[in-house]
Amino acid sequence: MTCCDCKKNIGFREQQDSLEKYGVALCERHSRLIDKIRETNNTPLEAVQLYYALKEAGANPMLEWWDGHKSIDIAISRVKLNIELETEYQMITHEQAINDLEDAMHSFKNGFTTIRVPSIVVRYYLADTVRNILGIMEGLKANIKVI
Ligand SMILES: [Zn+2]
């Protein structure tokens, strides 16, 4: 098996460890890198899984991208798409809801579209989630004027 990130061949042990941890096969170096990103940004596990699935699909995603305002779970800058994973949507408070709306306003002002993906759809419907995001990207691409 190879690392999902650098395509380097990885051993059985590395593969087992990273699959257990992330559900994604990663070499030791990339496991450490992901650990560090998650530690710094409190990145949900599903964001890591979706990031690699989108990468595999050729979407050129970026994990924990700083937009000058906040860190975005996954950004696809080519079509100005921000993807935020929602992990606690059942317990959303009114403060959180208005903060989300304000974040959406900021990103729209910068020409970015933000979609919120519940983490359970990544867990249970990863392929469908990726297919839908690729569709959204196509839609956005059609709307971006070529200069
Ligand atoms: Zn690697």
How many angstroms is it from 140 CA to the middle of ligand 1? 31
Q: Cβ-count burial of 109 within 10 angstroms (0-12 exposed, 13-18 middle, 19+ buried)?
A: exposed
Amino acid found at 36 = K
Report CA-CA distances (Å) from 59 to 55, 56, 73, 88, 93. 5, 8, 15, 26, 33
How many angstroms is it from 145 CA to the middle of ligand 1? 36
- The 3-state DSSP class for residue 26 equals coil
Can you give the pLDDT at residue 89?
64
Can you give the pLDDT at residue 91?
74
Residue 19 CA to chain centroid, in angstroms? Answer: 18
How many angstroms is it from 128 CA to the middle of ligand 1? 25
How many angstroms is it from 32 CA to the middle of ligand 1? 10
How many angstroms is it from 83 CA to the middle of ligand 1? 23
At 104, list the tokens: 């959406």
The torsion region of residue 65 among left (phi > 0), alpha (psi -120 to 50) and beta comes to beta
How many angstroms is it from 127 CA to the middle of ligand 1? 22
Evaluate whether 72 touches 64 at the Cβ level (below 8 Å): yes
- How much is the pTM? 0.89
**Domains contained in the chain, CATH given:** 1-41 (no CATH), 42-143 (3.40.960.10)
- The 3-state DSSP class for residue 116 equals strand
How many angstroms is it from 88 CA to the middle of ligand 1? 30
Per residue of the chain (147 residues), give pLDDT as tens. Answer: 899 999 999 999 999 999 999 999 999 999 999 999 999 999 999 999 999 999 999 999 999 999 888 899 999 999 999 999 988 766 778 898 898 888 888 888 888 999 999 999 999 999 999 999 999 999 999 887 654
How many angstroms is it from 46 CA to the middle of ligand 1? 19
How many angstroms is it from 87 CA to the middle of ligand 1? 27
